[in-house]
A and B are shown apart, each in its own frame.
Chain A
Amino acid sequence: MPTLKDVNAIHGHGLLPGARYFAAASAVRDDAAWATWAARVILALGAGHLLAGILSFFAYDWADLSAFAKFATVEAGLVIALAGAWFAGIERAIGQVLLIAASILVGVLLAVIGQVYNTDADYYVLFVAWAVLILPWTLASRSAAHWVVWLVVLHLALSLYGEQVLIPEGRLTESALEIGLGALAALVLALREAAVRKGMAWLAGAWTRIVLLIATLGLLFWPAVAYVLDWEGEIHAPAAFVIALALAAVAYRRWLPDFAASTAVIGFAALFAIALGYRVIEEAIGFDWQDETRLVASVGLLVLWSAAAMGLAAKLLQALRRRLEPRPS
């Protein structure tokens, strides 16, 4: 069964003229899969735009609209979304989207409560309440997208709690907060892997692993690099990043072989190595604008180090691909 990659190869070797390329691509296209994909994208984009419109509408805080009208509008939307999800069934895409819409409308409702009653509460209170209130629907939804929405709300709640309460009170440093949020993402990734092994097929989409892995490594990467480059932070930041990187490397090389996930791990490792190289060169030679010879040598070394780090990454990826991706028969 030829694929689009084969079509590109056939064209690249001059066996398929450009004029017939589109016909060839159409012949190998999986029409049913793309029809399903298009419908889901249209549904997701439609719901996303509609909800963004509702959020903007209430953010405008229209003075002509009475408090009663505001509550009635949001609550009516909430009831319609919930009823729709109930009737459509949460095992169907439309039911899941309606339940996600209801979860987002809960946030709008909490924001309207804040507007009408001027509660002066910190923002984190809204997000904590939001995360708690929609948790039962998230648990019931059996939808990875719903979990992503809930995790984003939880992430905002925890980061705002840290920034508005724990850091000002001196109970936590900014770096520790960032490490904590990264560790939380890592925990969610580990739970996802365990759930998939237990047979929860609705979580098994490859994108859920990649999104959580990139979130984990991305959240831990910045504080680690900030420490390495001597901007801010504590030694725990690079330590946490390296531990997460090592665990992910072993997990997606040995326990759950996955080339795409391994590529993400190697990419973050290469970028971290470049930052580390910068610090080592700075300590050893320095980037002093007053000392021309040293500066030229330092920048030149950094260029070589960067090319070496990426070259090693490319080499590792080649070797990993041979092991993790079987050749097509």
Chain B
Amino acid sequence: MTDLASFCATLKLDEAAVRRLLETEAGAPVRPPPWYVLLLLGVGAWITALLMIAFVAVFLGFALNVDEPGLGSAVIGAAMFLCGLFIQAKTKESVFAEQFAIALVAAGAAIAAFSLWFESENLWIAAAAAAALAAIDIWRNRYAQQQFLLASLAIGLGVAAVSDAMATGSVDIVALAVPFGAWLYLRPPPKDMRPAATALLLAMPFYALVTDSLFDPTYGSGRWPARIIAMAAILVLAWLRARGSAAPNARLSHLCIALAAAAVCLLLPPGGSAALVILMLAFTLGHWPLAIVGVLLEIYFVPRFYYDLDASLLSKSWILMAVGAALLAAYAALRRSGAAAP
């Protein structure tokens, strides 16, 4: 860690401008909320958006006699989306209006995208429409929870389109979302895309979570491309971290961590491997919220492995013990290198 003067000098930043900015941020009447507040507000917006979708469905069905979504409901969805953005542009102080507008934007985008799907019977069109609406929101760049909901909608529809188009192997395509999300975190574009990047990082674990609980467990002996993508992502992240560390024992510790994580990726189901990439990204960037998400996902995926239908309990027990042994060996190596506190 470093002080502001040397931080600016090392990165060739305008120290006066940075100092001014940080002082303004610290004195601002409303500071950006912490991640857990955004999570809560996001859940609230999601619930309100679902209720709003139910309202539009009921209204269309009874007042306008529309039984099935189509172009008409897509137009209504788009109007709701624009109306929500308009309220946000005009609202400065009202928290109620903000929450209502976020739900309106999310519900409008969902209604428009799903209506286009019903109209065209093509999931790709729905995914493209949702992606376009998410892009508009990223360009406007106002609310993190809104961007996350819209990006999740677009990614969810994209994943559904891929699954619909491919009889097998869709998981390997979905796995590509994780390194893309990590890249957006490591080299962010000028517009803040962290909520969309988070949605991309969560795509694979949630795909595994949904398919595993609904119809098609994604673990088992196959899915090698997905595992290799996760392994490659972990090795690249570890290389980046090691490159940024001066101490030789730190480099050795990063090598131990990377090798253990890569070995685990070969053994674990893709959902668990993707969660491991999130953990590695958190470690590489020094990002506590991602670390908490990664740990919670790993806690979910280890017991879920018990329900793998492709392997016997005996095979699973050997795999789990091998993963455990690889990780404990990495811990022992870390201790020897002096990088880990006892």
Contact = CB atoms under 8 A, between A and B. Distances in A.
A221 to B, nearest CB: 13
Interface string A19-58: 1111111111111001111110111011111111111110
Contacts, number: 268
A144 interface: no
Given A9-B25, A18-B187, A36-B340, A49 B324 contact: yes
Interface residues of B, number: 98
A296 B51 contact: no
A317 interface: yes
B166 interface: no
A92 B342 contact: yes
A49 B320 CA distance: 5
Contacts of B303: 52
Contact of A310 (B45, B189, B313): B45
B58 A27 contact: no
A226 interface: no
B284 to A, nearest CB: 8
Q: Name the residue among B58, B97, B98 with the largest chain A CB count within 10 angstroms.
A: B58
A307 B98 CA distance: 9
A225 to B, nearest CB: 13
B328 interface: yes
Interface in A289-304: 292-293, 295-296, 299-300, 302-304
Given A31-B245, A317-B37, A327 B26 contact: yes
A52 B257 contact: no
A308 to B, nearest CB: 6
Nearest to B311: A56
Nearest to B335: A39
A2 B305 contact: no
Contacts of B190: 14, 18
A303 B192 contact: no
Contacts of B103: 303, 306-307
B250 interface: yes
B279 A41 contact: yes
Given A25-B286, A49-B302, A307 B17 contact: no
Interface stretch (B4-12, B150-158, B168-176, B201-209): B4-12
A35 B257 CA distance: 10
7 contacts: A24-B7, A54-B317, A59-B313, A263-B37, A270-B40, A306-B103, A307-B100
Interface of B: 1-4, 7, 10-14, 17-18, 21-22, 25-27, 30-34, 36-37, 40-41, 43-45, 47-48, 51-52, 54-55, 58-59, 62-63, 94-100, 103, 186-190, 192, 194, 240-241, 244-245, 250, 253, 257, 260, 279, 283, 285-287, 291, 295, 298, 302-303, 305-306, 312-314, 316-328, 330-331, 334-335, 339-342
